[in-house]
Each structure stands twice: as structure tokens, then as C-alpha cells.
Amino acid sequence: MSKYLGIDVGSVSCNIAILDNNKVIYTSYARVHGKPIETLQKEFNKVLKKYPKIKIEAVGCTGSGRFLVGHIVGADLIKNEITSHATGTVHFVPRVRTILEIGGQDSKIILLRKGSAIDFAMNTVCAAGTGSFLDQQASRLGMKIEKFGDEALRSKKGVMIRGRCGIFAESDIINKQILGHKREDIIKGLCQALVRNYMNNVARGKEIREPVVLQGGVAANKGIKKAFEEELKIKIIIPLYYDVLGAIGVALLAKEAKIKDSKFKGFRIARSKFSVSSFDCSDCENKCEIVKLSEKGKHIAHLGSRCGKWE
């Protein structure tokens, strides 16, 4: 059977999906910890151990690191996050009309009609509405993020947390602790604050229609799901593979592209050596920082110029 590979690399995670035609046979979600190339190589090693003789027909890349990763792996297709997430979600929830997506470093809303994205909005400015912020607060409150949602559900009434700014929210949380509020009430209040922040910034002016899907790593948080349901007064769907739908979506797009001769270098790149350096281009007033990517000392790509000169 034909296998298709999807890779979604962002600032927080590296997600991989392998499809056997339209069936998902492998997924992985790994934190990058500032090392996207090394993380990708580790995940490729895992694939090699599980499928030593696997043959990939086509590869798609998405996420904020899609261009870097695309050059490293030899991608046949590079797509933006909106298209990839919409494609992956529609595959599992065909009638979806609104996608609420909260990742580690950003959040987005995608509006769909008849299976196609017609509008979207993103927030990459404030950390208060992201998974990374929840990770930080979980650590501050002395608990694992995996237990965060269950703790929120134990609360009968969340305390008011100012969530429009990460700094103010953190200060408010500390103040509520000093005043002696229960931990579960603080956590529920934080979930409600994140949802309010999302609705006031990302979803502002957008017509949210059912079915509504919540995805991204934060979708695992039951407290966030409940906070959205209370705010919107509708049922929220958490789809299968909610945390890797971007990777699945771009793998599906690679399949639909009907690539004849894939440029994929193979999972062997897990054992290759890559290096990254940079320099400033002074040819115009933009003064772009150009990233030079090399494999085993051999230059393979330039990234970062606005005019495309170096690419």
C-alpha cells in the first residue's frame, strides 16, 4: 500500500503522521525544546525502528518550521497551517464548521463551509492564550499539566483571573494564592480566563457555527473544553488525533497532489549531520537575516530573505 508522510514542526512540538492511503498508521508528538532538527531526527529514528523497510510515496510539511524542515527532508509539498489543520479536521469531522485551535505558542480560529476554509484569524502576540502559558502556571501551582483539566473540573466556582495579558494573569494567580483560594478554583478561573482571551482576541467578530471542534495540544485539557462549552453554550467536539491534525492534514494533501517522483531523502537523515548559520544581507534597506542550512558541510538551502534573492 502507498504510504504518505506529514510533518508539522512549530516552536513547541514536532508532529509526525504516516498514512496508509487514508488510514492513519503512525503518529508522534514530541516537544522540540528549542531543537527542531534534533527532535525531528529522533522521531525519524523511532519510525525506522518500527518500520525499517517503509517506502514513502510523498511528503508534506507544515507549521512555522515548514520551510526549514522541508529542505531537510526533501518535501514534495509545503503548506500553511490553516490549510493543513482544516484538511486534517475535515477528514475526521466532515461536517465541521468552526475549528478552535490552541497550540503551544499561538492560537487560531478557522471557519469552514462545505469542507473548505473561508476565513481564519491567528494570535501570536500574547502568551496568555497558549499552551506554554498553561504549562508555566501548572508548574507554579505544583502539578503536572496532564492533571490540570481534572483539577479544574473539581471546582464548583472558578475565581476571576485577569487573562488578557500573561503578566497580569500570573500576578493575579499569585494574589489569589496569597488570599487562600483553593487550587482547583484558581485553575478553573485560569481556564475561563484563557477562553475569554481567545474569544475577545482570536474569535472576535467571527460567526461561530456548529459543529465546533477544539484541537491542538490544549484540547487534552478538560477544563478548557468545559470553559468553551460554558462560554459558547454549545457542545465542543474533541476529534481523534486532536494534537497532530496538522501533520495528518498535510499528509493527506501530499497524497492528493499525486506526486510521481518524491524528493524525500528517506528516514536516513536521522543519522545525517545538519548545521545552521546566519548572516545579514545588506543589499537593500530590509537588511534580512539569512539562514544558511548545510548537511554534512554541504550547503543545501538559504532561508529568510523577503525578496527571495537567496532562496
Domain residues of the chain, as ranges? 1-92+241-271, 94-238, 273-311
Element holding 277 (H helix, E strand): strand 274-280
More confident site: 118 or 139: 118
Helices within 129-266 (DSSP H only): 131-140, 148-153, 166-178, 183-201, 222-232, 245-256
Please compute the mean of the pLDDT values over residues 145-173 and round it to a whole number. Answer: 79
What average pLDDT is seen over the chain?
A: 89
pTM of the model: 0.89
Say whether pLDDT at 218 is over 80. yes
Q: Would you say 117 and 97 are in contact if contact means Cβ atoms under 8 Å apart? A: no
pLDDT more than 90, % of the chain = 52
Report the C-alpha gap between 268 and 245 in whole angstroms.
Answer: 25
**pLDDT, tens digit, for every residue of 202-213?**
899 999 999 999
Residue 130 has pLDDT above 80, yes or no: no
* Distant-in-sequence, close-in-space partners of 23: CB < 8 Å, separation ≥ 6: none
- Residue 34 burial by CB count (10 A; 0-12/13-18/19+): exposed, middle or buried? exposed
Can you tell me the distance from the alpha carbon of 69 to that of 231, in angstroms, rounded to the nearest whole number?
38
1-92+241-271 shares its CATH topology with 94-238: yes
Would you say 66 and 47 are in contact if contact means Cβ atoms under 8 Å apart? Answer: no
> For 104-117, how does the pLDDT look when each residue is reduced to its tens digit (9 = 90+)?
777 899 999 999 99
Report the pLDDT value the prediction gives residue 295, as an integer from 0 to 100.
87
pLDDT recorded at residue 129:
62
Fold of 94-238: Nucleotidyltransferase; domain 5 (3.30.420)
* Among 77, 82, 90, CA closest to 106: 82
Residue 71 has pLDDT above 90, yes or no: yes
Taking residues 108-136, report their average pLDDT.
Answer: 82
Question: Under a CB-based contact definition with an 8 Å cutoff, are residues 73 and 56 in contact?
Answer: no
What are the backbone angles phi and psi of residue 194, rounded to the nearest 5°?
-65, -40
Lookup: cell for 89: 479536521
Query: 125 pLDDT exceeds 80?
Result: no
What pLDDT does 309 receive? 83
Task: Map grid coordinates 507554579 to a residue.
Answer: 140
Q: Which fold has domain 1-92+241-271?
A: Nucleotidyltransferase; domain 5 (3.30.420)
The residue whose grid cell reads 502559558 is: 133
